[in-house]
Structures are given as structure tokens and as C-alpha cells.
Amino acid sequence: MLYKKLIIEDPSALMFGLAPKPVSTPRGLVIGGGKVYSELNFTLPEMRINQTTVQEVYGHYTETVKGALDRAVHLNSAGVIIEFETLLEMTRYPEIGIEIIKRMNEICEDYFVKHGLPTEIRLTPNDLREFERPALQRTSKLLDPMMELFEKGMTAGGDLLSIESTGGKEVSDEALMMCDIKGVLFALAVLGVRDMRFLWRKIVDLARSQGKIAAGDSACGFANTAMVLAEKKYIPRVFAALVRVISVVRSVVAMEEGAVGPDKDCGYEGPYLKAITGIPISMEGKTAACAHLSPIGNIACACADLWSNESVQNIKLLSGMAPVAYMEQLEYDVRLMNEALKAGTLHRDILQQLLVSSDIYTDPQALVLAPDNVIAISKALLTGDSYVANARNGALKALDIIEEAHTSGKMVLPEMELTWLPLLRDDLQSIPDDEERFVEMMLPMLDQSKFILSEYGL
Amino acid sequence: MLYKKLIIEDPSALMFGLAPKPVSTPRGLVIGGGKVYSELNFTLPEMRINQTTVQEVYGHYTETVKGALDRAVHLNSAGVIIEFETLLEMTRYPEIGIEIIKRMNEICEDYFVKHGLPTEIRLTPNDLREFERPALQRTSKLLDPMMELFEKGMTAGGDLLSIESTGGKEVSDEALMMCDIKGVLFALAVLGVRDMRFLWRKIVDLARSQGKIAAGDSACGFANTAMVLAEKKYIPRVFAALVRVISVVRSVVAMEEGAVGPDKDCGYEGPYLKAITGIPISMEGKTAACAHLSPIGNIACACADLWSNESVQNIKLLSGMAPVAYMEQLEYDVRLMNEALKAGTLHRDILQQLLVSSDIYTDPQALVLAPDNVIAISKALLTGDSYVANARNGALKALDIIEEAHTSGKMVLPEMELTWLPLLRDDLQSIPDDEERFVEMMLPMLDQSKFILSEYGL
Amino acid sequence: MNKSPSLAANFVNKLNTFYFSIMEELIAKILEAVEVGKVDQKSPFPPQMRGMEGAFELTTRAIEAGVPPQAILDRSLIPAMEIVGRKFSENKIFVPQMLMSAKAMGAAMVQLKPFFASGAVKTKGTFIIGTVKGDLHDIGKNLVSMMVEGGGWTIVDLGVDVPAERFIEALTQHPGAVVGLSALLTTTMVSMGEIVSRIREYSSDTRILIGGAPVNADFCRRIGADHYSPDPQGAVNYLNRLIA
Amino acid sequence: MNKSPSLAANFVNKLNTFYFSIMEELIAKILEAVEVGKVDQKSPFPPQMRGMEGAFELTTRAIEAGVPPQAILDRSLIPAMEIVGRKFSENKIFVPQMLMSAKAMGAAMVQLKPFFASGAVKTKGTFIIGTVKGDLHDIGKNLVSMMVEGGGWTIVDLGVDVPAERFIEALTQHPGAVVGLSALLTTTMVSMGEIVSRIREYSSDTRILIGGAPVNADFCRRIGADHYSPDPQGAVNYLNRLIA
Ligand code: B12
Ligand code: B12
């Protein structure tokens, strides 16, 4: 890692709404500047996207944004980020994505002028490269439409650039199912890091060319996949917690290349990125239960600067359209945090403490999101001279913390989980400091038909 | 009102999770005894209920309860109330409702035995009498299936009895649309009070005969209708706030007749009932945005003992079934409150303060739910020798509080709202103390073809 | 106006102009009375017009003065309710104000009744509306029916808990009428589909408009209704497009 | 056993009993190896069985000892995977443990391959599975295919992003196979409907099973698929009912 020292060293400074390096947006949001804002994400109901339905698709997006912003105005919202996480066709045929942004942005502008509500669009194209297997991370033609959508989408009104990039996923998918922590570390700290560098250099350049905000990435496809699998009791929760920690060294590369935050909502590595780099972050928890259940409903907002619902279909609930209902739920959560920020340090500290104690000892994945532990593990993540060593050291520290919480009786772990602890520790300890040696060690164990080393500059 | 003195006189004692007269349930919940529990309510997706679909209906109820309780166990829930608010056919043909309760109760028992999760069913039949117009509140044959469902539904496993009774609604519906505060007061403090007395005497008797809990009613059809209309900007919010206050004198009659709480979730008069009678209450706010939007998302839980989602259809969201997602959202909200209760008075007071300050000055309907104001208005509600005088005095006090908040600059009210304040005051002041005189005064102004006085014992 | 009028012609002209201006003034006053919801002289609403003439008196005078009833309808009542409807959609007035306007319009209509009967005045058409079987929610339905009436349609309100037969019965009495269905429960919205089919069986070209909180455009397509509107204004617009 | 056996008969009998018990023991050991996921002798998993024979070696020995291959399949592999599947559904083991069992079963199957070819051993049938066009999510699909394989079916996994043609192509190669479709996106689940129709056009009696997070039983009915299962165990149960 390029970072050698934490920007936030004191856990009590890791606080919602406050980031050492706030990000200002054109319509006047100051993310991390003392207030938490809602980030609303929504998607289409069950439907096809093609020539004959595309007008209907546009209708869904404009109707939803209008409905949500109406509600936000009604609730005196301080500002909203609308995340536009594209569906495949919208990146594959960038003109569709661009048109949607244009129309949504007109509405945002309208609400800004008429009601003073500041709203920005986060543009998150798909990483199409995963459609080719083995993936051509650097030479794929599919990079073209992605980059086109970034470029023209910014012009159309996308102000914050993000992506859930997938470098290393071809290895991680199988490693997750096998609970192979070395495989995961290889996927994230070797392949992921290298792909992030390649991709984010491009994105940051694009953003700079138009004066836009290169926001950040998310290891969703790795660590949230692990979390979802763990919630289904498919893999151990202790394993999923380590995957989360390892994902930090991969996602931080966006910042090393110049991204400034807010990172993407589904990246629970956010608190680490905030501690290490000082950027503001987007998080999601209980109010994202529409998109995934989680063991971190409250603790996830302990140091959030944006608070998101991850995604909800534009379907009708008893009250009205689901995105409008979720807009309301987010706004009330956010109000609570903002009231606490306004009321002063005692109030905000107590609210954070409650959010943390609510979940901390219910799941190792919650444990590693508690500010104290984030700082302790972040420090470990900075030790070592390679991303591989960083990741391993961070994971070992997390393991210590998990074991300590168990042996002290604070966190109860069932036998099924406990048997994994020594196995995971052995595996982690067998990982060398040096990237090259690690690659050598791993190659024989991996199915090399699934990935192409040269596509990662190896 | 029979009550002459508040049970809770000190606003700081009006606290979530704590009721002077907690209610213990068979499976060991102590509602109002120091912990807040979730109350989950759900309903069918768009479908018909008849002979051919009834098995599918049962399937929805059992699947939903299983899914929700699974999630509750996963999240270490302290306990859950499942509200079974029947759909029409389930009261009209009580055997359907009874069968659903039986099947749900088996699942509850199973989760209690296997996982130690205490769960109870709140049984809320429909008030069928409104199917006849003018309504035959006392002599209707439709009372039979309602009472049958209560009686056999208890035996089948319904432990808490509730209803949203509709006495006076035939007058209130029109009065709401005309913003006729005298009409509303007549509907609630004359007709509503008399019908509540008639109905709840029966329900309390039934409950006692089986040792079950006569829980409480809700003026949903009156005051929440007003709230929904106000959210749509159809009627003034100041008017809706007064309707809420007036509804107290009607809903409190259930307690006068022996109901012990928790009152029904959609009754935002709950805090008043708690102050006046000491019962535990059920409330709903942001996490009921699936069922209705509201201006009281956070403040509604300032003194809740149960926290409810009001209702969500059993439809699929991206994470899973909607009731499961809402179960999770409720549990996290509840955890926050319970952590605060555990942490001590400073923490719980600060959390309550944040919940209150979040909403208090955004809407007069929020204003009248702030503990200070609840106590002040409750005191006014106890003055006077008739329900009519009680209601009028409470409403006038609420009006004072609203005006004060406006003139002091704490709450901004638009011109459109302000013009209603003097009109409402004039109207209220014209109401006499005496019920008989009030009835005389109102009769000429009302469409008497719409209600039958003798059905209210007049 | 003539360029070089004779004296008599001039007088007639002036008289015409005079009468014309009186008539114009009355038309404008009725419009205003309906817009602000002034029903009749003794009505206390709106407070600032206490004691002044209302829609009732103004319409009596207008008819006496020879204002064509159709003009009262087309140039006073409907435009007034259009303004009211627009203000309402823009959240500039509350329902009671709209209701007072509807009452004022009703007071005027009482005077126009004979002319409808004689065929001297025509409404835009008939709108049959009801809340479907099993459902008692009627607040939304009432708002829609009020606004559509204000838009110049004749309303047949069947109330709540209305089965297919009652809609068909109403159609036999009002052939060519447009039908509006309202439902607020997810369990009753499914009966909409049945009612639509039953109506179609009876007369395949009847236009059917649906609404209510759980309903949406997709559902409308699925059950084969003609139009969904989320609000009263949309219903009025759709109906007006039908006869445009 | 005979009541008063001759000496020779007695000996043969004893020998039989001996062989029988050896065979039984091998069958039980293979079952155990698959259940705990012991692939072969050199496999380090599970730690407590380090160095011991695995499914591979045990199956070799069993075949040499004359255990009928069909018995190995029916009495060791399938029951072992059934136990594993049940434990998994009851959340008593994690996926990697299930995967190791699947691997162990695979190692045994390698030995049985020749007998399948000769017809001496039969699987329950063929299951063609794939994630539908436009969709890359495959974790769920992989779990299903693993469990179905464990249930004694031959698997044809078409991978992800699979168009209708590829399913049909596979059906031409495996007539009578059951088809499984997986989708995780609300935008791709709609292509399920199309794929189902295309398959039905090609062979109307093919059984089609669907799954994936956004899918449900209602949707299954709507698109005319035969069965929806929320999880792998349900898929296995359904398939077994098909051939019961
Ligand atoms: C992991 C994951 C990914 C991984 C996929 C890795 C992989 N190799 O599969 C990655 C990161 C690549 C990914 C990408 C995307 N994803 Co994704 N992803 C998920 C996530 C987090 C978990 C899915 C998962 O693996 N679950 C675990 C498995 C075991 O469960 P399962 O798949 O449901 O399968 C079980 C059952 O359904 C059943 N089953 C499954 N298939 C079948 C088949 C049969 C025949 C039967 C009987 C049963 C059955 O059995 C399984 C075991 O119990 C979900 C969130 C969620 N809550 O589900 C989002 C989710 C599905 N993804 C989503 C999205 C939007 C995307 C992207 C479009 C994101 C983007 N903008 O780039 C891309 C799309 C790529 C593409 N074209 O497919 C959305 C879908 C929203 C929508 N509108 O539909 C979700 C819901 C996330 C969200 N909440 O927004 N995703
Ligand atoms: C008021 C109300 C009642 C009142 C009804 C008073 C009355 N006279 O109408 C009372 C208390 C009696 C009541 C009873 C019940 N209700 Co109710 N009720 C509501 C509430 C709070 C507001 C509805 C309302 O009036 N809204 C205001 C009006 C103006 O809006 P609207 O009706 O949507 O109409 C607008 C548009 O939809 C449109 N529109 C409407 N109709 C039409 C028609 C056409 C042709 C067009 C073009 C447009 C159109 O224009 C209108 C103006 O903009 C809703 C909650 C909600 N969020 O909607 C629940 C709600 C509808 N009720 C609900 C329930 C469950 C019930 C009961 C079953 C409760 C019970 N267990 O007893 C009973 C059912 C009685 C019955 N058989 O109908 C549920 C429905 C759940 C479900 N599964 O479907 C809701 C959603 C509450 C909830 N969140 O759980 N209810």
C-alpha cells in the first residue's frame, strides 16, 4: 500500500458525517462535512430492456426520481445522492445509460432550482469484462462501452464515478465456496489490486478531464458475496469477516490512484478506507434489507457519510412505490444522525456507541466494523511491504480480535465456526510477504484455465 | 373520561420500553417491562380469497411467519408480536381466520420450544358493521361473525385482542374532507365513545373468559385517515394534528372498559393513552413506510413499547420476501432502543431526545407527539366533565402549542396552514361542555340519513 | 362595430354593448363565485365574501338576463372548476376549498337543470363510478367523482362495495357512459379484473378507467382496462381526451 | 442360514458370510468417506483422517472385491450425498464440506465410469442446468448442480449467460433430460419465460425446473415452467419425485 500512516488514528474520530477530506459537489453537498445524506438506489421491476420497452424503462427512472425527490423535499432533506447502478444493457449500449442520466439529471436540476434540494447522480456502469471467461481484463473490447458510458455519462449529468470492478473474481468465486482464504487473498491482493490500478487510473483521468468526482469502488462481488453466503449459513461467518478485511487492500487502490470518495455503498470496507485515507464513505445496513439481509444493520452506519438502501425495485407497496418508501426510511435514519451531530459530541458519541453495541458481538462481521477494531486492524493492514503482506497482517489481526472476543466470552461462536479458526490461521500464516513468491506458491493450487496472468500484468 | 389524573405526570417518564403497567404474555414477553419488541404485520399479495385459493392463503401466512421468525432467531430477537389483522373474508367467514391463527400459532410454539423465541399473535378482526349504511352499530347481525372470530380465534392461539372499530366513521369521513372539526369531535367524542363502550365491554368479557389479553383499539380510520390526507396535502396538517388529539377520548374508552394494552400499532394516540392510563403501547413510524408515509418517522418511537411496520404485502424483494426484510428492519430499530435502555438513563434520554428533535418542528402532527406536549395536552384532556369537553379542551391546548411553536419561530407553517388556525379555534370554542347540548347543536348541520342515533344509545 | 353608424344603429349598438358587458360581467362573477366556493348569499364561506351574492343568485340573474345556459356551463362553471382543479393539483388549496367550489357549482347547476332536460345544454358525457365489491374505501373515489363533475361530466356514483351487475345495470341506463373503478385493497383489486371482463362482455367498447392506491398502469394493462390514473386530475384529462 | 448344514455347505456359507461382510464393510466405508469428504489417501481433508484411504482407494478395492458397481452407487454414494444434503439443509455443515463430499463422490465415480458406458450401472437421469442469457451469477446454480449430481443424476452444466438455443442443443444430445434454469436478476428472469416457450416448442414434455433469488412459485406458474424450488434440496426432491 502507498499509505503508510492512518489519517484517522483515534477511533473516536471515526464518526458518521465527518471525514477528514470532505467532498464537495456541484450542487453544494459537502459529503463528510458534518452531515450525513441519503443515497438512494433503485432498479427496474421484472422487465426486459429492448427497443420496444426502452421508453418504459426511461419512464421508470424519471417517475422514480420524481417520486423520491418529492418525498425528500416533503421531509426537508438536506440532499440526496441518486445512485444509477446500470443494468447490463445500459452499459452494453451506452446510449441507453446516457439518456437515463440526462433525464434524471434534468429532474435533479429542476428540484434544485425550484426547491433548493441538492442532488447528485452517482454513475456506476457495469464491469462488462466478466462476460468473457477467462477474462481479458486489459485487452477486452468490452472496456470500450464502459469507458464511453463513463465519459458521456458525466457530460449528461453523472457527477460521481463508481464501479464494482471484478478483477480477480474468476478466482475468488471458487475460493469463497471452498473457504480457501489463500485463494481469496490471491484474488484480492494480487489480481484485484493489479486490476484496480489499471482501471482506476483510467477512471480518475476521465473524471479529471471533466472536473468530475472519481468516487470509489466496492469489493461487493467478493466480500458481500461472502456475507450473503454466510447469512445463508453456507460458509463460516469468521471466514466472511476475514474476506472483508482482505478486501481493503484492493479497494484502497482507487484512492491511491486519485479517487476521493465517497466509496460505493455496498463496500463495507468503507470504514477502513476512511481511517486509512480520510475519504468520506457510503454505507448501507438495516435500510438495505430490501436488497440483502445482514448482520450489521446498525453498526454499518457508525461512521457513514452517505446512508444507502443498496437497491429496491420500482414496485408498488401499500404506501406507494418502493423507492419512495425507502427514500423516507433513509431520510429518517439520516435525520437521527444529523440531530446528533448538531447536538454536540456527547450526543453523537452516544448514538454511535449505541449503533455499535447493538451489533458488535452478534457476528464477527459486525465485530470488525466497530471503530476501535477498524483502527487496530487498519494499523495492521499498513504493516508489510506488499499488498499481500498488508492483507495477511490485517487478516491475522482480525483473527486475533475475533478469538479474543470469543475467549473473553463477549462473543459466542458455535462449534461449527470455531473449528475454522485454527485452519484459517494456519493458512494465513503460510502466506509469504513477497508477491512473487506468493504467486509461485498459489499457481499449482489454482485452476489456471480460469484466468490469464498477463491480463494482470504478471 | 373516567380517568381524572395522569399515571405519568413527568414527561421524562414517558419512555420507550417502559410502561407503568406492563403486560405479561403466556410465552413470557413483558411488554412495557424494560424492553421494546417488534410487532410484525403483513398481508397477502394481490390475490382473491375463496374456496379455490384458501390453501394458498394459508400457505402465505405460514410461509411468512416461518420466514420472519427464522430471521428473528438469526438476529437474536428478544421476542416478536405477530399481528393478524384480518382481511375481510377472514372475519366474514371466521373459520378461515381461525384456521390461519391455528397454523400460525403452531409455528410460534415451534420456535418457542426449539429456539426459545417468545412470540404472540395479536388478533384483529375487521369491524364488519361498516358494510351497512346507515350502520347498525348495536343491532347488526354482522357482530356475530366478529365475536365468533374473537372467541374461537383466542382458543386457536390469539393472545392479544384488538380491533379498529368504526363507530362514528360515517360522520367522520365527511367531516374530515370538509375540515369540519366540530363534526370530527361529534364523530369521536360522542358516537365513537359510545360505540367503544358498547364494543369493548364485550371484548373485555370475552378475553376474561379465556384469560387472554384485551389489548386495545386504534382511531386509525379517523386520525390516520386525516394524516394520510394531510400527507397528500388534501387537508391542513394543523387540522390532522387536532383530529389526533381528539381521538384520545375515544380510544381511551377501551381501557376504561378493562383493556390493558398494548394498544394497536396504527393508533398514534398511544402516547396519550400511556400517559393517562399507564398501559404499554404499540407504535409505528419510519419502518412502516411500506404501509404509509408519515411526518413522524422517528418521534413515533419516542415512547413505544412495541415497534411495528403496520403492514407489508408478502411479495418478493431483491433480498427475499418483504415481511422478512421488514422483520429485520424492525429488529435493528428495536435493538437500538434496547441498547439504550440497557446502557442507562443518560443513554436512553439522549436517544429519545434525538428521536424527538428529529421531527418535532417539522409538522404539527409530530409536535403533538413530543413527550412534553403529550403530557401538557393530556392534562387538558382530563379537564371537563364530559368526553366532549375533554376533547375540546385537549384540542384547544394542542392549538395553543401549535400556535406557540409557530409564533416563537420554532416551527414554520405556510400561509395555507395558518389561515386555518383562527377558524379551528372559533369552531372549537363554540362547542359546549354538555354532550346533550352539543348533540342538539350538531344535528341540524349533519346529514341525518347517514347515521342512526339509537344505534349509539342516544 | 360599424364604421359610420346611424343614430338608431348606434343606440342599438350601445345597448348591445351594454347588455353584452352585463352578461360578460355575470359570467365572470359566476366563475369567481365558483372558484372561491361562494355557494349563495347566506353562506358564511369564504369569510371575506360574507353577505355577497353567491353562485346561486348570480346564476339566477344571468339566466334572467338572457345569458345562454350553455355559456354559463362552458364559460363559468367548467373553467372555474378547471382553475380549482389545477390549484388543487398544485397543492395550492385544500380539499374543503375544492368541495365548496363543487357545492357552488352544484348551486348553479340547479338552475341549469331544466335546460339539460330540454336539450338546450349538453354535458360532456356520463361517468359511472364506484368502489369495487368487498371494498369500502371511498374517500379517493369521492374526490375523483367531484373533480370529474367539475369538469363538466354527469356523475352516476354507485357508492362502495359495488358488484359487476350494478355497473352493468348503470350502463343500461346510461349507454355510452365511461366507467371508473376504485379499489384500495390488494384483495379487492383482483375483482377489478372480473368486473372489467363482465363489462366488456356486456358492451365491448365501454371505456374503463381505474384507480386507487394499490393499482398501477401495469395492472391496468393486465386486466384490460383502458386507463389508469393516479389522481383525479389525470382522470379529468383522460376523459377530456376521449371527447376531444 | 441352513438349520443343519453339512461341513462343506457350512464352509461355503462361512466364506459367503465373510465375503459378504467384507463387501458390506467396503460399502459402509465408501459411504463414510464420501460423507466426510475424504477424496483419496493423500488428501489432507478432513484432518482427523489424514493418511487413511479415501473414496478413490476404497472404490477401487470394492470393485476388485466384486461389489456390484450399481450397489456402490445406490448404497454408498447416493445415500452419503443424501446425508450430506440433509446436514447442509439443516445448517449443520458448510458448503466447503459439501464440496469435499462431492469431490469424494467424483473420485469414486471415476471408477464407475466404465460400467455406466457398458450399461451395467444407470444414473437416475440427466439434468441440464444453466444460468439464463444476460446473467452471470452462478454460485447458486453451481450448488444446485452439485447437489443434484450427489443425488445420482448426470449433470450437463451449460454455465452462465446461456441462450435458449444452447439448452435445446443440449436436449438434442440428451433426450428426456430435465432442464434447470437459474436467474438472479429481475431483468434476466424475464428471459426464462422465453426459454421455457422455446424449449416447449422443441419438445413439449420436457420438465423444466427454475430457481434463483428473484424467482418464485407464482412466476413459475406464469411462465409455464414445471417447478420452482428455493433451494438445492428442493430441486433434488422434485427430481426424485419425477422418477418415483
Ligand atoms: C454475488 C453477487 C454477485 C456476483 C456474482 C458472482 C457469481 N459468480 O455468481 C457479482 C459481483 C459478479 C455480481 C454482479 C452483478 N450483480 Co449481483 N449479486 C450477488 C449477490 C450479493 C449474491 C448472489 C449469490 O451468489 N447468492 C448466494 C446463492 C447461493 O444464492 P442464489 O443465487 O439465490 O441461489 C440459491 C437459490 O436461489 C437456488 N437457486 C439458484 N439457481 C437455481 C436454479 C434452479 C434450477 C433451482 C431449482 C434453484 C436455484 O438455490 C441456491 C442455493 O440455495 C446478490 C445479492 C443477493 N441478496 O442475492 C446480488 C444481486 C443478485 N446482483 C445484483 C446486480 C444488480 C448485479 C449487477 C448488475 C451489478 C452491476 N451493476 O454490475 C451485476 C450483474 C452481472 C450479470 N450480468 O449477471 C442485484 C440484482 C438486482 C436486480 N435488478 O435484479 C442483486 C440482488 C444485488 C442487489 N441487492 O442489488 N453479483
Ligand atoms: C382511510 C383508510 C381506511 C378507512 C376508509 C374510510 C373511507 N371511507 O374510505 C377505514 C378505516 C374504514 C379503512 C378500513 C379498512 N382498511 Co383501510 N385505509 C385507509 C388509509 C389510511 C387511507 C386511504 C385513503 O382514503 N387515502 C386518501 C385517498 C384520497 O387516496 P386514495 O384512496 O388512494 O385515492 C386517490 C387515488 O388512488 C386516486 N383514485 C382512487 N380511486 C380512483 C378511481 C379512479 C377511477 C381513478 C382514476 C383514480 C382513483 O385518486 C384519489 C385522489 O388522489 C389507507 C392507507 C393508505 N396509505 O392508503 C388504508 C388501507 C388502504 N386500508 C387497509 C386495510 C387493510 C383496511 C381494512 C381491511 C382494515 C381492517 N383490518 O379492518 C379495512 C377494510 C374495509 C374494507 N372492506 O374496505 C390497508 C390495505 C392493505 C391491503 N392488503 O390491501 C391500507 C393500505 C392500510 C395499511 N397500510 O395497511 N381504511
Q: Do A87 and D187 touch (CB under 8 A)?
A: yes
Q: Tell me: do C84 and C133 sit in the same domain.
A: no
Per the prediction, chain D carries an average pLDDT of 89
> Cβ distance B323 to B40 under 8 Å?
yes
Nearest to A219 by CA among A239, A198, A189: A189
Rounded CA-CA distance D38/C205 in Å is 72
Q: Is residue C74 part of a domain?
A: yes
Q: Give the mean pLDDT of B46-54.
A: 90
The whole domain housing D71 covers 7-122
Q: Do C214 and A316 touch (CB under 8 A)?
A: yes
pLDDT band at D1 (very low <50, low <70, confident <90, very high): very low
Per CB-CB distance under 8 Å, the chain B contacts of A359 are 335
What integer pLDDT is reported at residue A381 of this predicted model? 98
**A209 pLDDT exceeds 70?**
yes
Q: Tell me: do C65 and C151 sit in the same domain.
A: no
Considering C103, C122, C141, which residue would you say is the last residue of a domain? C122
Rounded CA Rg of chain D: 21
Q: For the segment B89-133, what is each residue's pLDDT rounded down to a tens digit?
A: 999 999 999 999 999 999 999 999 999 999 999 999 999 998 888
Rounded CA-CA distance C146/C135 in Å is 20
What integer pLDDT is reported at residue D151 of this predicted model? 85
Q: Give the mean pLDDT of B330-353.
A: 98
Helix B237-256 and helix B387-407, axial crossing angle in degrees, nearest 10: 140
Q: For the segment A32-85, what is each residue's pLDDT rounded down to a tens digit?
A: 999 999 999 999 998 889 999 999 999 999 999 999 999 999 999 999 999 999
Q: Is residue C1 part of a domain?
A: no
Residues 6+ apart with CB under 8 A from B361: B367, B405, B410, B411, B412
What integer pLDDT is reported at residue C3 of this predicted model? 54
3-class secondary structure, B32:
strand
Q: How far is CA B58 from the centre of its chain?
A: 26
User: Which C residues 185-214 touch A at CB under 8 Å?
Assistant: 186, 213-214
> Closest to A329 (Cβ–Cβ): which among B289, B320, B346?
B289
**C4 pLDDT exceeds 90?**
no
Judged by a CB distance cut-off of 8 A, whether residue A291 touches chain B is yes
Give the angle B450-B453-B458 at the CA atoms, nearest 5°: 165
Rounded CA-CA distance D215/D231 in Å is 11
Segment among A101-105, A159-163, A433-437, B229-233 with least mean pLDDT: B229-233
**C208 pLDDT exceeds 90?**
yes
**Kind of pairing between the strands at A18-24 and A30-33:** antiparallel
Burial class (CB in 10 A: 0-12, 13-18, 19+), C46: middle
Per the prediction, chain B carries an average pLDDT of 96
**What CATH number should be reported for the domain holding residue C54?**
1.10.1240.10
3-class secondary structure, B162:
strand
Q: Tell me: do C137 and C194 sit in the same domain.
A: yes
Per the prediction, chain A carries an average pLDDT of 96
Q: Do A347 and B346 touch (CB under 8 A)?
A: no
Residues with CB under 6 A from ligand 2: A 318-319; B 43, 85-88, 126, 130, 164, 166, 169, 173, 220-221, 224-225, 228-229, 291-292, 310-311; C 134-141, 143-144, 180-182, 184-186, 209-214, 229-232, 235
For residue A292, give the ligand nearest its CA. 1
- For a mutational test of ligand 1's pocket, the pick from A96, A163, A166, A220, i.e. the residue with the most ligand atoms closer than 8 A to its C-beta, is A220
Considering D122, D153, D168, which residue would you say is the last residue of a domain? D122
Per the prediction, chain C carries an average pLDDT of 89
What percentage of chain B carries pLDDT values higher than 90? 95
Ligand 2: centre distance to CA A402 (Å):
50
Q: What is the ipTM of this complex?
A: 0.87
Q: Give the mean pLDDT of A256-265.
A: 97
User: Which A residues 243-302 touch D at CB under 8 Å?
Assistant: none
Nearest to B273 by CA among B148, B197, B401, B381: B381
Give the angle A252-A257-A260 at the CA atoms, nearest 5°: 70
* pTM score: 0.90
Rounded CA-CA distance B31/B120 in Å is 11
Burial class (CB in 10 A: 0-12, 13-18, 19+), B260: buried
Q: For the segment C77-135, what is each residue's pLDDT rounded down to a tens digit?
A: 999 998 998 898 888 999 999 889 989 998 998 888 888 778 777 888 999 999 999 89
Q: Tell me: do D139 and D29 sit in the same domain.
A: no
- CA-nearest residue, atom 4 of ligand 2: B221
Q: For the segment C25-64, what is each residue's pLDDT rounded down to a tens digit?
A: 999 999 999 999 999 998 878 878 888 999 999 999 999 9
B11-456 maps to which CATH number? 3.20.20
User: How many residues comprise chain B?
Assistant: 458
> Cβ distance A183 to A175 under 8 Å?
yes
Q: Give the mean pLDDT of B46-57.
A: 91
Q: Tell me: do D88 and D127 sit in the same domain.
A: no
Q: Is residue C67 part of a domain?
A: yes
Rounded CA-CA distance C30/C43 in Å is 15
Q: Tell me: do C214 and C129 sit in the same domain.
A: yes
Considering D90, D122, D154, which residue would you say is the last residue of a domain? D122
Q: Do D214 and B320 touch (CB under 8 A)?
A: no
Q: Do A318 and C214 touch (CB under 8 A)?
A: yes
Ligand 1 pocket member A229 (CB < 6 A):
yes
Q: Tell me: do D239 and D226 sit in the same domain.
A: yes
Ligand 1 pocket member D157 (CB < 6 A):
no
Kindly provide the b/e burial profile for residues A131-152, where b requires at least 16 CB atoms within 10 angstroms of the residue's own CB: beeebebbebebbebbbbbbbb
Q: Tell me: do C219 and C139 sit in the same domain.
A: yes
What integer pLDDT is reported at residue D114 of this predicted model? 86
Q: How many separate domains does chain C show? A: 2
Q: Is residue D1 part of a domain?
A: no
**C1 pLDDT exceeds 60?**
no
Per CB-CB distance under 8 Å, the chain D contacts of A88 are 134, 185, 187
**Distance from the A175 Cα atom to the nearest Cα atom in chain D, whole angstroms:** 9
Ligand 2: centre distance to CA A319 (Å):
10
Judged by a CB distance cut-off of 8 A, whether residue B318 touches chain D is yes
**A44: its cell numbers:** 427496474
Per CB-CB distance under 8 Å, the chain A contacts of C185 are none
**What CATH number should be reported for the domain holding residue C218?**
3.40.50.280
Q: Do A320 and C213 touch (CB under 8 A)?
A: yes
What percentage of chain D carries pLDDT values higher than 90? 57
DSSP, residue by residue, A267-289: -TTHHHHHHHH----EEE-GGGT
Q: Do A44 and D219 touch (CB under 8 A)?
A: no
What integer pLDDT is reported at residue D113 of this predicted model? 82
Q: Is residue C2 part of a domain?
A: no
